[in-house]
């Protein structure tokens, strides 16, 4: 392993949303970045078009001080066993952007490796865009295994390289990151939000209101509220909505998120904590994803999707390209440690 933790050689395995953003940000921050992908695949072609000399995953892992595993969760265990573990040099650092496989025992890293996590709290496109304009997406980081005594510094160095340390990275654990991330996705951000939207739309349409008007009220305008929450929390939302909306929020919100809903959230969290969800998802993937594909197709074929597609066709502003950002400044030094609450 190189003795200079400030500029380690980094292998990025995977070139999806997060992989591409990490690779580009790290390169722009002055790091030696190798991208490891299956030769001839679509992501390999994309990485080459971005100027990377693409290697096989084994070649990239063998030559790196930090190996960042940014492939889909269910692909990682086999990739680690068959490619990464045999290739990584002794004393190198294994890095993940999500703790799922380590936390649930699907990957048991070699004892000689440092094992860390750096997880930006946003999708890859946002990680890249915020970096390009000189800002950064907040991130959390964790140390699972500190063999070298420098694992935390390596995590913070990587975090700074992708722009995450610009927002004061928060130290967490693999357990906390994994369980809170899964809960957020299932109960609020994805599962909760999409089912709430669909149920609201269905309620209005079944009551005889126009599907288009129901779409605007239950889906389209959600962005306006989420933007206010994102910018300044519930306080800012209350500043910008009418008193009528506020009164409806305060008195009718509990009709929807009632004791039953809270009990269901606790059930979701329990199934994450005791491994029930992980076992179900691992078994589903191993069986070919039949149920997953059927459930996803039902979401894609929900009537609100056809209405939305038609309405968005008239929203010309959605087709406008984003403004070109100015050149990004050099990444700052790693942030000081900040403990999670």
18 marked ligand binding residue: yes
Q: Is 305 annotated as a binding residue?
A: no
Q: Is residue 306 a known part of a binding site?
A: no
Q: Judge whether 124 is annotated as a binding position.
A: yes
Whether 6 has a binding-site annotation, put simply, is: no
3-state class of 176 per DSSP?
helix
**Does 264 count as an annotated binding residue?**
no
Dihedral sign, CA of 187, 253, 122, 46? Answer: positive
217 is in an annotated binding site: yes
Please answer whether residues 132 and 301 qualify as being in contact, where contact means their C-beta atoms are separated by less than 8 angstroms: no
Measured distance CA(300)–CA(305) in Å, rounded: 7
Polymer length in residues for the chain: 341
Q: Are 54 and 64 in contact (CB under 8 A)?
A: no
Among 159, 60, 65, which Cα is nearest to 113's?
65
CA 171-173-178 angle, 5° bins: 120
Q: 319 a known binding residue?
A: no
98 is catalytic: yes
**Cα first-last separation, the chain:** 33
Spatial distance between the Cα atoms of 195 and 215, rounded to a whole number of angstroms: 14
Check the annotation: does 17 bind a ligand.
yes
Q: Are 76 and 97 in contact (CB under 8 A)?
A: no
233 annotated ligand-binding residue: no
Catalytic residue among 98, 144, 220, 238: 98
DSSP classification of residue 187: I
Please give the C-alpha separations between residue 282 and each of 104, 186, 295, in angstroms, as whole numbers: 10, 16, 16
Does residue 133 contact residue 328 with C-beta atoms inside 8 Å?
yes
What is the bridge-based pairing of β-strands 10-13 and 66-69? parallel
Angle formed by the axes of helices 290-300 and 276-286, nearest 10°: 100
Q: If DSSP codes are grouped into helix, strand and coil, which group holds residue 118?
A: strand
Question: What residues are annotated to the active site?
Answer: 98
Binding site for NADP(+), residues? 15-18, 38, 43, 124
Binding site for substrate, residues? 242
Binding site for Mg(2+), residues? 181, 185, 217, 221
Binding site, residues? 15-18, 38, 43, 124, 181, 185, 217, 221, 242
């Amino acid at each position: 392993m190189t003795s200079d933790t400030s500029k380690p050689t980094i292998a990025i395995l995977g070139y999806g949303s997060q992989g591409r953003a990490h690779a580009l940000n790290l390169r722009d921050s002055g790091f030696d970045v190798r991208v490891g992908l299956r030769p001839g695949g679509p992501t390999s072609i994309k990485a080459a078009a971005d100027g990377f000399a693409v290697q096989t995953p084994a070649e990239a892992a063998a030559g790196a001080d930090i190996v960042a595993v940014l492939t889909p969760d269910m692909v990682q265990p086999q990739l680690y066993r068959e490619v990464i573990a045999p290739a990584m040099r002794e004393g190198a650092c294994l890095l993940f952007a999500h703790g799922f496989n380590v936390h649930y025992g699907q990957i048991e890293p070699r004892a000689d490796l440092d094992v860390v996590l750096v997880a930006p709290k946003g999708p890859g496109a946002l990680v890249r865009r915020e970096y390009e304009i000189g800002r950064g997406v907040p991130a959390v980081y964790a140390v699972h295994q500190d063999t070298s005594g420098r694992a935390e510094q390596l995590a913070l160095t990587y975090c700074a390289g992708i722009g995450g340390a610009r927002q004061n990275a928060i130290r967490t654990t693999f357990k906390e990151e994994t369980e809170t991330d899964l809960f957020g996705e299932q109960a609020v951000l994805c599962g909760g939000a999409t089912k709430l939207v669909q149920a609201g739309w269905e309620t209005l349409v079944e009551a005889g209101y126009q599907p288009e008007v129901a779409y605007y009220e239950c889906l389209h305008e959600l962005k306006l509220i989420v933007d206010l929450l994102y910018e300044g929390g519930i306080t800012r939302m209350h500043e910008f909505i009418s008193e009528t909306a506020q009164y409806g929020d305060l008195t009718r919100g509990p009709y929807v998120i009632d004791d039953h809903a809270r009990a269901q959230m606790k059930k979701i969290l329990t199934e994450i904590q005791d491994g029930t969800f992980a076992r179900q998802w691992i078994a589903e993937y191993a069986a070919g994803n039949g149920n997953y594909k059927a459930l996803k197709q039902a979401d894609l074929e929900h009537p609100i999707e056809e209405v939305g597609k038609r309405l968005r066709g008239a929203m010309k502003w959605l087709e406008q390209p984003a403004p070109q950002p100015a050149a990004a400044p050099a990444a700052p030094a790693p942030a000081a440690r900040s403990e999670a609450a």
